[in-house]
Amino acid sequence: MLDNNLRVERAIKCISQAQLASAIGVSRQTIFAIENNKFVPSTELALRLSAYFGKPVNELFWLVEQMP
Amino acid sequence: MNTRTYLLPHRYQQLGWWLFAAPFVCVLPYMAMSSDEALQSEKLNIIATLVFTCLPYLGVGLICLSQEKQEDEYIQSLRARALFAVVVYAFIVNMVSDSLARFLMQSISLDNYGFLRTVIYAFTNTPFLAVIYLVLFKGSLVVNRIRTRHVG
Protein backbone atom coordinates (compact mmCIF):
# COMPACT_ATOMS: atom_id res chain seq x y z
CA MET A 1 0.00 0.00 0.00
CA LEU A 2 1.15 3.53 -0.77
CA ASP A 3 0.91 6.42 1.68
CA ASN A 4 1.75 10.09 1.18
CA ASN A 5 2.12 13.40 2.96
CA LEU A 6 0.63 15.56 0.27
CA ARG A 7 -1.76 17.16 2.75
CA VAL A 8 1.12 18.17 5.01
CA GLU A 9 3.16 19.57 2.12
CA ARG A 10 0.13 21.48 0.94
CA ALA A 11 -0.38 22.92 4.41
CA ILE A 12 3.29 23.99 4.55
CA LYS A 13 2.86 25.82 1.24
CA CYS A 14 -0.54 27.17 2.37
CA ILE A 15 -2.33 26.14 -0.82
CA SER A 16 -5.75 24.58 -1.34
CA GLN A 17 -6.49 21.39 -3.23
CA ALA A 18 -7.92 23.45 -6.08
CA GLN A 19 -4.75 25.56 -6.34
CA LEU A 20 -2.51 22.48 -6.33
CA ALA A 21 -4.77 20.79 -8.89
CA SER A 22 -4.64 23.72 -11.30
CA ALA A 23 -0.88 24.10 -10.80
CA ILE A 24 -0.18 20.54 -11.90
CA GLY A 25 -3.03 20.25 -14.39
CA VAL A 26 -5.38 17.73 -12.81
CA SER A 27 -8.86 17.94 -11.30
CA ARG A 28 -9.47 18.69 -7.64
CA GLN A 29 -11.02 15.25 -7.21
CA THR A 30 -7.70 13.71 -8.21
CA ILE A 31 -5.83 15.53 -5.43
CA PHE A 32 -8.55 14.56 -2.94
CA ALA A 33 -8.35 10.91 -4.03
CA ILE A 34 -4.53 10.85 -3.78
CA GLU A 35 -4.53 12.46 -0.33
CA ASN A 36 -7.05 9.94 0.93
CA ASN A 37 -5.13 6.98 -0.56
CA LYS A 38 -7.99 6.15 -2.90
CA PHE A 39 -5.90 6.58 -6.01
CA VAL A 40 -2.26 5.82 -6.72
CA PRO A 41 -0.88 8.42 -9.14
CA SER A 42 1.15 7.54 -12.20
CA THR A 43 4.91 8.10 -12.24
CA GLU A 44 4.39 11.21 -14.37
CA LEU A 45 1.96 12.76 -11.90
CA ALA A 46 4.18 11.80 -8.94
CA LEU A 47 7.13 13.51 -10.66
CA ARG A 48 5.03 16.61 -11.33
CA LEU A 49 4.07 16.76 -7.65
CA SER A 50 7.69 16.23 -6.68
CA ALA A 51 8.81 19.08 -8.94
CA TYR A 52 6.07 21.34 -7.63
CA PHE A 53 6.97 20.79 -3.95
CA GLY A 54 10.72 20.64 -4.70
CA LYS A 55 11.13 17.34 -2.87
CA PRO A 56 12.12 13.85 -4.04
CA VAL A 57 9.26 11.51 -4.89
CA ASN A 58 10.07 9.14 -2.01
CA GLU A 59 9.60 11.98 0.47
CA LEU A 60 6.08 12.53 -0.83
CA PHE A 61 5.13 8.88 -1.35
CA TRP A 62 6.27 5.75 0.44
CA LEU A 63 5.30 2.13 0.78
CA VAL A 64 3.47 0.97 3.89
CA GLU A 65 3.96 -2.62 4.99
CA GLN A 66 0.65 -4.47 4.99
CA MET A 67 -0.07 -7.10 7.61
CA PRO A 68 -0.40 -10.54 5.94
CA MET B 1 -2.10 17.01 -17.49
CA ASN B 2 -2.12 15.89 -21.10
CA THR B 3 -3.31 12.30 -20.84
CA ARG B 4 -3.42 10.40 -24.11
CA THR B 5 -6.99 9.43 -24.81
CA TYR B 6 -8.98 8.07 -27.71
CA LEU B 7 -12.19 9.71 -26.56
CA LEU B 8 -14.08 12.44 -28.41
CA PRO B 9 -13.80 16.08 -27.25
CA HIS B 10 -16.07 17.25 -24.41
CA ARG B 11 -18.45 19.17 -26.72
CA TYR B 12 -19.73 15.83 -28.10
CA GLN B 13 -20.93 14.95 -24.61
CA GLN B 14 -23.20 18.01 -24.60
CA LEU B 15 -24.55 16.96 -28.00
CA GLY B 16 -25.07 13.46 -26.59
CA TRP B 17 -27.15 14.78 -23.68
CA TRP B 18 -29.35 16.76 -26.11
CA LEU B 19 -29.90 13.67 -28.26
CA PHE B 20 -30.60 11.57 -25.16
CA ALA B 21 -33.19 14.12 -23.99
CA ALA B 22 -34.93 14.29 -27.40
CA PRO B 23 -37.59 11.62 -26.64
CA PHE B 24 -38.57 13.34 -23.38
CA VAL B 25 -39.05 16.63 -25.24
CA CYS B 26 -40.92 15.03 -28.14
CA VAL B 27 -43.22 12.68 -26.24
CA LEU B 28 -46.11 15.16 -25.79
CA PRO B 29 -46.14 16.48 -29.41
CA TYR B 30 -45.92 12.87 -30.62
CA MET B 31 -48.88 11.78 -28.47
CA ALA B 32 -50.93 14.72 -29.77
CA MET B 33 -50.02 13.92 -33.38
CA SER B 34 -50.54 10.17 -33.13
CA SER B 35 -54.01 10.59 -31.60
CA ASP B 36 -55.04 12.52 -34.69
CA GLU B 37 -55.93 9.90 -37.29
CA ALA B 38 -55.36 12.30 -40.18
CA LEU B 39 -51.71 12.61 -39.18
CA GLN B 40 -51.04 8.88 -38.78
CA SER B 41 -48.74 7.83 -41.54
CA GLU B 42 -45.69 5.78 -42.38
CA LYS B 43 -43.61 8.96 -42.23
CA LEU B 44 -44.68 9.63 -38.64
CA ASN B 45 -43.69 6.09 -37.66
CA ILE B 46 -40.26 6.53 -39.19
CA ILE B 47 -39.78 9.84 -37.39
CA ALA B 48 -40.99 8.25 -34.12
CA THR B 49 -38.49 5.39 -34.50
CA LEU B 50 -35.74 7.90 -35.17
CA VAL B 51 -36.62 10.13 -32.22
CA PHE B 52 -37.45 7.43 -29.66
CA THR B 53 -34.80 4.83 -30.54
CA CYS B 54 -31.97 6.00 -32.77
CA LEU B 55 -31.32 9.44 -31.24
CA PRO B 56 -31.14 8.27 -27.58
CA TYR B 57 -28.89 5.36 -28.59
CA LEU B 58 -26.61 7.74 -30.45
CA GLY B 59 -26.76 10.15 -27.50
CA VAL B 60 -25.76 7.49 -24.97
CA GLY B 61 -22.93 6.42 -27.28
CA LEU B 62 -21.65 9.99 -27.55
CA ILE B 63 -21.84 10.55 -23.78
CA CYS B 64 -19.94 7.31 -23.11
CA LEU B 65 -17.26 8.03 -25.69
CA SER B 66 -16.52 11.68 -25.00
CA GLN B 67 -14.17 13.27 -22.49
CA GLU B 68 -15.06 15.03 -19.27
CA LYS B 69 -14.24 18.75 -18.97
CA GLN B 70 -10.94 17.91 -17.29
CA GLU B 71 -10.07 14.38 -18.30
CA ASP B 72 -7.13 13.17 -16.19
CA GLU B 73 -5.79 9.82 -15.04
CA TYR B 74 -8.10 9.63 -12.01
CA ILE B 75 -11.17 10.15 -14.21
CA GLN B 76 -9.81 7.46 -16.51
CA SER B 77 -9.40 5.09 -13.57
CA LEU B 78 -13.07 5.71 -12.68
CA ARG B 79 -13.97 4.97 -16.31
CA ALA B 80 -11.98 1.74 -16.21
CA ARG B 81 -13.65 0.69 -12.96
CA ALA B 82 -17.16 1.32 -14.36
CA LEU B 83 -16.29 -0.49 -17.58
CA PHE B 84 -14.93 -3.48 -15.65
CA ALA B 85 -18.12 -3.65 -13.54
CA VAL B 86 -20.25 -3.63 -16.72
CA VAL B 87 -18.15 -6.37 -18.32
CA VAL B 88 -18.47 -8.53 -15.18
CA TYR B 89 -22.22 -7.85 -15.04
CA ALA B 90 -22.71 -8.79 -18.72
CA PHE B 91 -20.58 -11.91 -18.31
CA ILE B 92 -22.43 -13.12 -15.20
CA VAL B 93 -25.92 -12.34 -16.55
CA ASN B 94 -25.16 -14.07 -19.84
CA MET B 95 -23.55 -17.07 -18.18
CA VAL B 96 -26.27 -17.53 -15.55
CA SER B 97 -29.14 -16.96 -17.98
CA ASP B 98 -27.67 -19.28 -20.60
CA SER B 99 -27.10 -22.01 -18.01
CA LEU B 100 -30.62 -21.50 -16.68
CA ALA B 101 -32.12 -21.70 -20.17
CA ARG B 102 -30.22 -24.92 -20.92
CA PHE B 103 -31.25 -26.36 -17.54
CA LEU B 104 -34.90 -25.51 -18.17
CA MET B 105 -34.77 -27.01 -21.63
CA GLN B 106 -33.28 -30.24 -20.30
CA SER B 107 -35.23 -30.63 -17.07
CA ILE B 108 -38.76 -29.63 -18.00
CA SER B 109 -38.42 -30.11 -21.75
CA LEU B 110 -39.00 -26.43 -22.40
CA ASP B 111 -38.64 -26.22 -26.16
CA ASN B 112 -39.48 -22.61 -26.74
CA TYR B 113 -37.53 -20.30 -24.53
CA GLY B 114 -37.99 -17.27 -26.74
CA PHE B 115 -39.51 -15.26 -23.91
CA LEU B 116 -36.52 -15.97 -21.69
CA ARG B 117 -34.15 -14.97 -24.50
CA THR B 118 -36.09 -11.70 -24.88
CA VAL B 119 -35.74 -10.96 -21.16
CA ILE B 120 -32.03 -11.80 -21.30
CA TYR B 121 -31.59 -9.54 -24.33
CA ALA B 122 -33.36 -6.70 -22.54
CA PHE B 123 -30.78 -6.83 -19.73
CA THR B 124 -27.66 -7.41 -21.83
CA ASN B 125 -28.11 -5.34 -24.99
CA THR B 126 -25.48 -2.72 -25.76
CA PRO B 127 -27.55 0.44 -25.01
CA PHE B 128 -28.62 -1.01 -21.65
CA LEU B 129 -24.99 -1.85 -20.79
CA ALA B 130 -23.99 1.66 -21.88
CA VAL B 131 -26.59 3.13 -19.53
CA ILE B 132 -25.27 0.99 -16.62
CA TYR B 133 -21.75 2.19 -17.45
CA LEU B 134 -22.95 5.80 -17.46
CA VAL B 135 -24.78 5.44 -14.14
CA LEU B 136 -21.71 3.90 -12.49
CA PHE B 137 -19.21 6.34 -13.99
CA LYS B 138 -21.24 9.55 -13.60
CA GLY B 139 -22.40 8.36 -10.17
CA SER B 140 -18.81 7.99 -8.97
CA LEU B 141 -18.00 11.45 -10.37
CA VAL B 142 -20.95 13.00 -8.53
CA VAL B 143 -20.03 11.23 -5.27
CA ASN B 144 -16.46 12.52 -5.58
CA ARG B 145 -17.64 16.05 -6.26
CA ILE B 146 -19.88 15.98 -3.18
CA ARG B 147 -17.05 14.61 -1.02
CA THR B 148 -14.57 17.26 -2.15
CA ARG B 149 -17.01 20.17 -1.99
CA HIS B 150 -16.16 21.28 1.53
CA VAL B 151 -12.48 20.39 1.53
CA GLY B 152 -10.00 23.22 1.21
List the domain boundaries for chain A.
2-53
Quick check: B143 contacting A, CB < 8 Å? Answer: no
List % helix, strand, coil for chain B (3-state, nearest 5).
80, 0, 20
| Confidence (pLDDT) at B45 | 77
Is B74 close to A28, i.e. CB distance below 8 A?
Answer: no
In which band, very low, low, confident or very high, does the pLDDT at A50 lie, cut at 50, 70 and 90? very high
Contact A26 B1 (CB under 8 A): yes
Question: Does B148 contact chain A (CB < 8 Å)?
Answer: yes
Facing residues of B56 across strands? Answer: none
If you average pLDDT over every residue of chain A, what do you get?
Answer: 90
Amino acid B132: pLDDT: 94
Residue that wins the pLDDT comparison between B10 and B147: B10
Instruction: Give the residue on B whose Cα is nearest the Cα of A20.
Output: B152
Q: Which of 68-127 (B) contact A at CB < 8 A?
A: 70, 72-75, 77
Do residue B147 and residue A32 have CB atoms under 8 angstroms apart? yes
Bigger pLDDT: B34 or A46? A46
- CATH class of the structural domain A2-53: mainly alpha
- Give 3-state DSSP helix, strand, coil % of chain A, rounded to 5: 55, 10, 35
Q: With bands split at pLDDT 50, 70 and 90, how would you rate the model's confidence at B86?
A: very high
Q: How far apart are CA B53 and CA B50, in angstroms?
A: 6
Answer with the residue of higher pLDDT: B68 or B41.
B68
- pLDDT exceeds 90 at position B22: no
- Over residues B98-112, the pLDDT tens digits come to 888 777 777 776 666
Nearest CA-CA distance, residue A67 and chain B, Å: 26
Q: What is the mean pLDDT of residues B55-71?
A: 90
B105 vs B112: CA distance, rounded Å: 8
> pLDDT tens digits for A53-66?
999 999 999 998 76
